[in-house]
A and B are shown apart, each in its own frame.
Chain A
Amino acid sequence: MMISQVFILSSKGDHLIYKDFRGEAGRDAVNIFYEKVTALTGDQPPVVMNHKDLHFIHVRQGGLYWVATTTADSSPFTVIEFLNRLTALVKDYCGSLSEKSVQMNFALIYELLDEVVDYGYIQTTSSDVLKNFIQTEAVSSRPFSLFDLSNVALFGAETQQSKVAPSSAATRPIQSSREQGGKSEIFVDVIERMSVVIGSNGVVMKADIEGEIKVKCYMPSCSEMRIGLNEEFSIGKSQLRGYGSSVRVDECSFHQAVRLDEFDSNRILRLCPSQGEQIVMQYQLSDNLPSAPPFRLFPTIERDSGGRLLMYLKVRCDLPPKSTAINVCASVPVPKGSVSLSQELSSPDQSAELKQQSRAVEWKIPRFTGGTQLSALFKLEVPGLSSASMLEVGPVGLSFELPKLTATGLQIRFLRLSPVQPGPSQRWVRYVTHSDSYIIRV
């Protein structure tokens, strides 16, 4: 398991970072890689490519190519996990992941790479260990300012009440916490990704949740932290706890550092968080969701007398009335050759647009309150529309965010830090559910 070189390229092929660990391959490898990756046809898997004896393995994150080369036959799991970990570290140290932040912090990234990998062998990727070695300070691409509050990011901060962390709070470099007068904060995020397939008859054919509890720690010193989950949290089908509706997951795994001695009795996770971001727990649930899927679609699709395609879509949001889905976008594939679209939407903040490239109508709904129903009428001009072309309509893909909500019902009861932190410290618990892939057949 030896990494020969690591380099980072922008999507346009600019060299951002290049580090050679073993001197086995020349610098021209960078250009060879870029030529290869841009020459791939659509159906060729890009992840691993070969040039003579050199293997290129890369991941794409933040619009950048993160490439490792190796000459020996290495484990793809290890190299890919390493590259992902490297991107996470760079994100931790530079605050965000973009061409700009990498360019501005190249010295820091070289320093990181120097400590993380020696002679092609991965030494450590723990931010706890690394923080002792890394000396360069991050250059933050956007200084922390109130303007950031207007950004609706991951946690859609816009209208939520008092106790909501600013979305940009978690995108700052971990090291700057030293300089910011020891402003110590800790974020515990419960993030779930939902993938659902609903059949044309409304039956849920598949419903999977992949979830994780992520801790982002900006505390200079934190010895132990206790996270209490729902008491009735249960794993597997057989195990049921409590009398009320249980919160159940199929499989669950924990970070190495988590101590589980209180988990069986009280559902408490104990750990000493290291600086930066780490995934404390991962879990998954297949089928049998505790609640109905958040969206239903009732489509009517027909051809009108003038040969136009009429799509009348009614979407119902089955969330509890207090909850709201944001950034909802429904993408409806339409027949090839659709020329123009006219629409009737129920409120002015919605928008719809015909995307020629993806051959789909995109209907955007910025806010969608639980228990309500929205409808839209789309008229499409399709030259030569035949009855068979109707087959090309659908399946509808929905993307959305559900802030302050978990589909499994997992909650964090409490978050305790010990010893009690001197000075003001802020603890944030945030929930969000994303659509990984939410497909409704028509």
Chain B
Amino acid sequence: MPYLGGEDAVRELRRALSNPNVQSDPLRYRNTILKVIRSMSQGVDVSGLFTEMVKACATVDIVQKKLVYVFLCSYAALNPELSLLVINTLRKDCQDPNPMVRSLALRNMTNLRLPSLLEYVEQPMTTGLRDRAACVRRVAVLGWAKLYNLQPNSEIDASVVNELYSLLRDPDPVVMVNCLRALEEILKEEGGVAINKPITHHLLNRLKECDVWGQCDILRVLQRYKPQSDDELFDILSLLDASLVSPHPPVMAATLSLFLHLCPDLPAVSQAALERVRGPLLAACGSASREMRFTALCHIQLLLRSLPGLMGAHYKRFFCGYAEPAFIKQRKMQVLVELVNDENVVMLLDELKGYCTDVNTDTAQAAISAIGRIGRSYSDRCLEILTGLLGLKQDHITSAVVQTMRDLVWVCPQCSNTVCASLEGCEETLQDSQGRQALLWLLGVYGERVSSAPYTLEVFIDGMRSEASLGVKMELLTTAMRLFLCRPAETQDMLGRLLHYCIEEETDMCVRDQALLYYRLLHCGIEETRKVLHGPRSDPSLGVLIGRPAEPISQWASSFNTLEPLSQVAVETESASRGSPEHVTSDLSDTLSGCRVDDVRSDRDGRCADSSADVPPPLSLSPSPALSPEEFERLWLQRQALHAERGAQKTGEEDFVRLEERVRCPAVPHCSPQSIQAAMQLLNIQTLAFTPPHTLPWRVYLYTHTQHTHSDNTPRRTLILGELLYIGEDREVEVEEGREEATGDGVSRRDLVRKHEEEEVKVTLQQQPRDDEALRGFLSILTSVLHTLTSESE
């Protein structure tokens, strides 16, 4: 914290530093320097004292030397000329008989980070490599990496690289590991240090001599090694077995990571390795350091994706301690949800029930939604708990319960009776907008079964004027409309009032437009209205699936032991902040991608069946990372411009590809946006923008990320942006010109095209980076969705 009067303090310090009396008294001199460093670390700018500090550098007192170096290294970049003065002292120190002084000088010489001093530094560095003291060699080796990074484009001195390679055989393990680290940096362009058989075996043999940190770095570098035979591979694996169950989590994690890299083709071996690390990982979960606990939990979540049964017997280890921070509790609950089975479900629910009344609202809500997720498989037990919680009449609990029930009903429609029966009276306790939105959705969809629904709704409509949340307003409109369809006598009056208020007085355009839309819709007749509003009540396809299919290990192997699993916001927790199930980026579709995509592929059209002769590897789609509409627009337009520049000619080497295709699906443009969105999301395709049904030209924008494993086993990700365009009867659109020139057929051809156009939807896809296989796969999936939608609405 910079304090006031920093300048005065600096002046005061300068006076003290240049006072000959102070300089002659070692203790006072050192204390003054201490004060300088203290100010520096508090954030005061003491760079003005550089000259004085340079003088203080020439001393026999090692402590003082070290302090001055801390200062000099921080400010050298600001005073390159003055730093030249230090070099002499440093070079002299490099000759000192005391190895500690030598290593100190050498380290700080390179820490000054001044390219102008390089010429003075190289010579002592070269001698440093051959110093008899290991601590000097350690510093010198890393020093070369620093030097190289100071002038990254310079020629690499081959003799230095050779020297470093030979120092890999240094008796001191730290020198050896530092060589590895330095070579990795110096040879970055060439892909790092050469990992050949002799080096690998040398490193493996000396692994035991290194400390934890050295072992981790060695294991990481070895990931690049490709064993030449199976025998060699198994020799390496058995050599590393002890590290796999190391009590030090870093070594354990690095070893497992290496295992997964070495044998991606041997699922049995990887699986056995995962089982071996179960013990150490569980121990890390119980570590005294909560950060370590959290890290271990996040990685266990990764493992469970491939081996759901891995931790089944140890579910009690994931019970929350009562003093644990909320973020650990939430991860533990996510793990618990994965571990549920017939034997432990009673115990688990009992435990989770205890968390629902936690004083921390985030924990309580997470526990409630965890119970909801278990409810997908054990609905009766969970509903009993959930309805019991409603009795507490606490706003945050009721809100979470209602949202959980909404999500549960969407998946398991058989729960609807219990849910409907428990909804009465909830509106009194609900405070937040998400909870009320969820309640409204339930009332709209199951209005005929909740006897008090119209009265509840009336309270909402009367309070419309003071309603602040846009989401609630929109949901209220839809609910009122839906309720009107099933209970017209009771709701007609209030619907009229609501529409009148929204159209005449509401200032928010969104709400007003929605109200106008409904108003006009009602003019079209009750049957039309019903057709539009009567969306699906549930997604039965989701209900039958209990538990998620096991993913191949390769899906997550590359993110194991990286920061990724820790910074990922877990999908399950997001339920609290979303709208209705129809327009939800549901985490369910994530879990379903594996099997659903396969289903679709089996019934796709002929064209793709041809290409499947060579059995394309499985393609998985994912809507995350999410793309904002602005981002989408930017990418789309940028690509479009590029495409236009390039003209019609196609060059194969582009990093992105554009594809236009026509799909016959006449009914799709007449589907409701909700059903299209729901269908797309089931397959992890995210829709971004719609034109309303029945308008021309009709457009939908969508995107997804594809990931699939190539024949060379490298997973590849691409981003696909897409547009569906339906021009309809409006034949004057000149879209087709380019195409006709290409076919160069005449007028008759044009007519032919037009005839088809009427029923075809034009699909434009843009992909980056280019991956034809994935694009083809995606197109076939998209085609089948569109076909399915067509057949449904017919």
Known contacts A43-B366, A284-B286; decide if A15 and B217 are in contact (CB<8 Å).
Answer: no
Does more than half of chain A's interface fall in helix, strand or loop, or is it mixed?
mixed
Q: How far is the CA of A44 from the CA of B366 in the complex (A)?
A: 12
A73 interfacial contact with B, CB 8 Å: yes
The interface bits of chain A over 83-106 (1 if a CB of B lies within 8 angstroms of the residue's CB, else 0) are 110000000000000000000001
A13 to B42, CA, bound (A): 11
Q: How far is the CA of A426 from the CA of B561 in the complex (A)?
A: 43
Q: Does the CB pair A284–B283 fall under 8 Å? A: yes
Chain A nearest CB, measured from B758 CB (Å)? 50
Mask, A115-132, CB within 8 Å of B = 1, is 000110111111000001
A333 CB contacts on chain B under 8 angstroms: 357, 359
* Interface segment out of the listed B346-354, B628-636, B671-679: B346-354
Size range of the chain B interface in the assembly: 35 or more
Q: Which of B220, B291, B357 has a CB less than 8 Å from the CB of A391?
A: B357
When each residue 1-23 of chain A gets 1 if its CB lies under 8 Å from chain B and 0 otherwise, what string results? 10000000000011111101001
Provide the residues of chain B in CB contact with A282, threshold 8 Å. Answer: 247, 283
Q: How far is the CB of B337 from chain A (nearest CB, A)?
A: 16
Contact between B563 and A76, CB atoms less than 8 A apart = yes
The reply to whether A82 and B213 form a contact with Cβ atoms under 8 Å apart is yes
Residue on A nearest B245 in the bound complex, by CB: A253
C-alpha spacing A220/B109, complex, angstroms: 33
Give chain A residues whose Cβ lies under 8 Å from the Cβ of B213.
1, 78, 82, 121-125
Q: Which of A43, A111, A199 touches B362 (beta carbons < 8 Å)?
A: A43
Q: Which B residues lie within 8 Å of A287 (CB)? A: 316
B78 to chain A, nearest CB (A): 12
Residues of B with C-beta under 8 A to A253: 245-247, 280, 283
Chain A minimum-CB-distance residue to B213? A122
B38 CB contacts on chain A under 8 angstroms: 106
CB interface residues, B 202-241, toward A, < 8 Å: 211-213, 216-217, 220
Inter-subunit contact A57/B563 (CB<8 Å): yes
Partner of A15, one of B37, B43, B216, B565: B43
The B-contacting residues of A in range 120-166, CB under 8 angstroms, are: 121-126, 132-133, 135-136
* Contact (Cβ within 8 A) A121 B286: no
Asked if A78 and B294 make an inter-chain contact with CB atoms under 8 angstroms apart, the answer reads no
A127 CB to closest chain B CB (Å) equals 12
The residue from A118, A136, A437 contacting B63, defined by CB atoms under 8 A apart: A136
- Taking a contact as CB atoms closer than 8 A, the residue among A118, A136, A199, A251 that contacts B350 in the complex is A199
Question: Is A106's CB under 8 angstroms from B63's CB?
Answer: no
Closest chain-A Cβ to B399's Cβ sits at a distance in Å of 14
Asked if A392 contacts B295 (CB within 8 A), the reply is no
Distance from B572 Cβ to chain A, minimum over Cβ atoms (Å): 12
**Chain B residues closer than 8 Å to A13, beta-carbon distance:** 1
B289 touches A80 (CB 8 A): yes
A397 touches B34 (CB 8 A): no
Q: Given that A43-B326, A43-B327, A48-B566 are known contacts, is A111 also in contact with B41, CB under 8 Å in the complex?
A: no
- Check if A388 sits within 8 Å of B216, measured CB to CB: no
Interface residues on A, range: 35 or more
Known: A75-B561, A119-B142, A388-B392. A436 touches B321 (CB 8 A): yes
Q: Are B357 and A392 in contact (CB under 8 A)?
A: yes
B501 on interface, CB distance cutoff 8 Å: no
Q: Given that A15-B1, A80-B289, A106-B38 are contacting pairs, would A360 and B295 also be in contact in the complex, using a CB cutoff of 8 Å?
A: no
Interfacial residues of chain B within 313-354, with CB under 8 A of chain A in the complex: 314, 316-317, 319-324, 326-327, 330-331, 347, 350-351, 354
Chain A, Cβ-Cβ closest to B279: A251
Q: For the complex, give the distance between the alpha carbons of A256 and B213 in Å.
A: 13
Of the candidates A23, A388, A394, A397, which one forms a contact with B113 in the assembled complex, judged by CB atoms under 8 Å apart? A23
| Residues of chain A with a CB closer than 8 A to B569's CB | 44
Residues of B within 8 A of A55 (CB): 563, 567
> Across the interface, which residues of A come within 8 angstroms of B324, CB to CB?
437
| Interface membership of chain A positions 39-57, coded 1 if the CB is closer than 8 angstroms to chain B and 0 otherwise | 0011111111110000101
Q: Give the distance to chain B from A237, nearest Cβ to Cβ, in Å.
A: 13
Which of chain B's residues has its CB closest to A74's CB?
B563
- Whether the pair B294, A197 counts as a contact (CB closer than 8 A) is no
Contact string, B53-77, partner A, CB cutoff 8 A, digits 1/0? 0000000001100110010001000
Cα distance A386–B139 in the bound complex, in angstroms: 71
Judge whether B347 and A118 touch: CB under 8 Å: no
Q: Is the CB of A84 within 8 A of B391?
A: no
- B253 close to A (CB within 8 Å): yes
Interface stretch of the complex, out of A173-181, A202-210, A343-351: A202-210
Q: How far is the CA of A27 from the CA of B75 in the complex (A)?
A: 12
- Chain A CB within 8 A of B14 CB: no
A364 at the interface (CB under 8 A from B): no
- A135, B63: Cβ atoms closer than 8 Å: yes
* A261 proximity list for chain B (CB < 8 A): none
How many angstroms from the CA of A205 to the CA of B351 in the assembled complex?
10
Given A77-B250, A359-B359, decide whether A391 and B388 contact each other with a Cβ distance below 8 A.
Answer: yes
Please name all residues of chain A whose beta carbon is closer than 8 Å to the beta carbon of B70 when the two chains form the complex. Answer: 110, 114
Asked whether B359 lies within 8 Å of A360 as measured between CB atoms, the reply is yes
Within residues 91 to 109 of chain B, which ones have a CB less than 8 A from any CB in chain A?
Answer: 100, 107
Does any Cβ of B come within 8 Å of A167's Cβ? no
Residues of B within 8 A of A107 (CB): 34, 37, 63, 67
Task: Chain B residues near A135: list those with CB within 8 A.
Answer: 62-63, 66
Complex Cα distance A93/B747, Å?
90
Are B563 and A81 touching (Cβ within 8 A)?
Answer: no
Taken together as a complex, chains A and B put the C-alpha atoms of A404 and B388 apart, in Å, by 44
Does any Cβ of B come within 8 Å of A358's Cβ? yes
In angstroms, Cα B361 to Cα A42, docked, is 9
> In the bound complex, what is the Cα–Cα distance between A126 and B298 (angstroms)?
29
Q: Which residue of A lies closest to B292 (CB)?
A: A80
Closest to A397 in B: B322
B248 CB-CB contact with A under 8 Å: yes
Cβ of A439 within 8 Å of any chain B Cβ, yes or no, is: yes
* B7 proximal to A (CB < 8 A): no
On whether A358 and B359 interact (CB within 8 A), knowing A15-B1, A16-B41, the answer reads yes
Which of B1, B67, B291, B561 is in CB contact (< 8 Å) with A14? B1
A230 within 8 A of B: no
Instruction: Determine if A286 is an interface residue (Cβ-Cβ < 8 Å).
Output: yes
Q: Which residue of A lies closest to B357 (CB)?
A: A392
Which partner residue on chain B sits nearest A283 by CB separation?
B283
A73 to B223, CA, bound (A): 15
From residue A32, how far is it (CB to closest CB) to chain B in Å?
Answer: 14
A75 in contact with B253 (CB, 8 Å): yes
Docked CA distance A59–B248 (Å): 17
Q: Which residue in chain A gives the minimum CB-CB distance to B139?
A: A118
Within the assembled complex, what's the spacing in Å between the Cα atoms of A245 and B469? Answer: 66
CB pair B394 A43 closer than 8 Å:
no
Closest residue of chain B to A84, judged by CB?
A: B289
Q: Does B564 contact A (CB under 8 A)?
A: yes
Chain A residues near B326: list those with CB within 8 A. Answer: 42-43
Q: Contact string, B389-410, partner A, CB cutoff 8 A, digits 1/0?
A: 1011110000000000000000
Residues in chain A near residue B363, CB distance under 8 A: 43
A195 at the interface (CB under 8 A from B): yes
Asked whether any CB of chain B lies closer than 8 Å to the CB of A193, the reply is yes
Bound together, the chains give a CA A15 to CA B327 distance in angstroms of 26
B322 cross-chain contacts in A, Cβ below 8 A:
331, 395, 397, 437, 439
| Contact B146–A47 (Cβ < 8 Å) | no
Interchain CB contact (< 8 A) of A75 among B41, B250, B294: B250
Chain B 250-309 residues near chain A, CB threshold 8 A: 250, 252-254, 257, 279-280, 283-284, 286, 288-289, 291-292, 294-295, 298
Residue contact B66 to A114, C-beta cutoff 8 Å: yes
Shortest Cβ-Cβ A-B pairs, 10 listed: A437-B321, A253-B247, A388-B391, A397-B322, A43-B362, A122-B213, A45-B327, A78-B250, A206-B316, A48-B566
13 contacts between A and B (CB under 8 A): A45-B331, A74-B562, A75-B250, A77-B249, A121-B142, A121-B181, A124-B174, A195-B321, A206-B316, A208-B317, A286-B316, A388-B393, A395-B322
14 A-B pairs besides A45-B331, A195-B321, A386-B391 with CB distance below 8 A are: A17-B41, A42-B360, A47-B295, A57-B563, A59-B291, A75-B216, A77-B295, A84-B292, A106-B41, A121-B142, A386-B393, A388-B393, A392-B357, A441-B350
